[in-house]
């Protein structure tokens, strides 16, 4: 090929490759343990594609060591920014110091982290989990006039969503002497484990002290509890009220069918605010708050059918 012919090819290659991806972002995701988590991942991928961002996605299968490995890999690749959705709160300082040394900004999304210095991350984008616990507890106390023997399905041990939702819920029921959590165990935010734990609760609870409600830290475990309640010959949503957090389509469907009673919506659309803050930072604007929080509403059977239709086709 003569040099004259070569120049346009070189120019095309240079333009083509640089125009394809202006920004590269590494995203360390917890896993795919729940419908909400899957929606969150899909929303981030769709948003990155929409913006022409080269997204390096890693699913940690709920293991922090996999998240740390992924962050180290992103650093080695020299990405422009890193998003971490942390599985648990502790153990992040060393790898965030490595990102800091590499001058790569880190955005924490969803659950929180406990670090020695909050300059190790740019900002956190998350829902107010404690408020979610308060809202769902208020709904349950209003519905039962504060008389309720509760079974609790906790989320992942050490996860902010589990810690803070429980704190908010417990603060509300502390005002009702006849509202008590009589059984509590982690269902690890999964449907299968939620069913298994609810089965054990139902087997061990004295027949003359029936549960009034099951309080689940996410919809996924609650849907597992619904299966266990049915297999025990009881009517979920009637014999035992079912309340949770997330607002996933399957849960709205169960509410429309009368099997569950209420949930607090947690938006999975966390990609847009994450990329907004990254683009802002990379453009040189350092005026970024340490917390960008979202909130969700309580949804009940009254609007479940129409809300399900809206979400099922998203
Ligand atoms: C809460 C999030 C939780 C969801 C669960 O923001 O961390 O993790 O409520 C998911 O569905 O497993």
CB 129 within 8 A of CB 164: yes
- For residue 195, name the pLDDT band (cuts at 50, 70, 90): very high
Question: pLDDT (tens digit, 9 = 90+) per residue, 67-111?
Answer: 999 999 999 999 999 999 999 999 999 999 999 999 999 999 999
CA proximity to 140, closest of 304, 252, 298, 311: 298
> Is 246 close to ligand 1, i.e. is its CB under 6 Å away?
yes
- Reported as a single tens digit per residue, the pLDDT across 227-257 is 999 999 999 999 999 999 999 999 999 999 9
- Ligand 1 in contact with 37 (CB < 6 A)? yes
**218: Cβ below 6 Å to ligand 1?**
yes
Q: How far apart are CA 191 and CA 215, in angstroms?
A: 14
As a whole number of angstroms, the distance between CA 180 and CA 137 comes to 12
For residues 245 and 22, which has the higher predicted lDDT (pLDDT)? 245
Cα 26 to Cα 275: distance, rounded to the nearest angstrom: 11
Residue 314, pLDDT > 80, answer no
Best probe residue, ligand 1, of 67, 126, 155, 274 (max atoms within 8 Å of C-beta):
155
Ligand 1 center to residue 69 CA distance, Å?
A: 22
pLDDT band with cut points at 50, 70 and 90 for residue 112: very high
Position 9 pLDDT exceeds 70: no
- This prediction has a pTM of 0.87
Specify the range with the lowest mean pLDDT, choosing from 6-20, 129-143, 232-246, 263-277. Answer: 6-20
> Please, what is the average pLDDT of the chain?
93
pLDDT at 2 over 50: yes
Query: What confidence score (pLDDT) does residue 17 get?
Result: 46
Contact, 96 vs 115, CB < 8 A? yes
Nearest CA to ligand 1 atom 9: 218
For residue 294, the model assigns a pLDDT of 84
């Amino acid at each position: 090929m003569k040099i004259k012919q070569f120049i346009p090819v070189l120019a095309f290659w240079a333009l083509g490759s640089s125009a394809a991806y202006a920004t590269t972002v590494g995203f360390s995701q917890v896993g795919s343990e729940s419908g909400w988590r899957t929606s969150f991942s899909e929303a981030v991928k769709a948003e990155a594609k929409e913006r022409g961002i080269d997204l390096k996605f890693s699913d940690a299968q709920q293991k922090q060591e996999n998240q740390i490995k992924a962050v180290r890999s992103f650093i080695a690749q020299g990405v422009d920014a890193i998003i971490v959705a942390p599985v648990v709160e502790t153990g992040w300082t060393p790898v965030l110091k490595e990102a800091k040394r590499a001058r790569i900004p880190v955005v924490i999304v969803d659950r929180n982290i406990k670090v020695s210095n909050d300059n190790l991350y740019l900002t956190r984008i998350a829902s107010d989990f404690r408020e979610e616990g308060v809202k769902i507890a208020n709904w349950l106390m209003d519905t039962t006039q504060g008389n309720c023997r509760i079974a609790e399905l906790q989320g992942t041990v050490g996860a902010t969503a589990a810690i803070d939702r429980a704190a908010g819920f417990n603060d509300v029921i502390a005002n009702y002497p006849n509202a008590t959590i009589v059984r509590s165990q982690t269902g690890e935010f999964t449907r299968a484990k939620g069913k298994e734990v609810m089965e054990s609760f139902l087997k061990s609870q004295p027949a003359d002290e029936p549960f009034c409600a099951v309080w689940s830290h996410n919809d996924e475990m609650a849907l597992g509890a619904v299966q266990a309640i049915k297999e025990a010959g009881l009517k979920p949503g009637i014999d035992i009220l079912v309340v949770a957090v997330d607002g996933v389509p399957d849960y709205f469907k169960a509410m429309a069918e009368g099997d569950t009673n209420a949930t607090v919506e947690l938006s999975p659309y966390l990609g847009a605010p994450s990329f907004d803050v990254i683009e802002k930072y990379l453009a040189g604007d350092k005026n970024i708050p340490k917390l960008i929080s979202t909130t969700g509403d309580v949804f009940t059977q009254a609007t479940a059918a129409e809300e399900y239709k809206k979400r099922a086709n998203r």
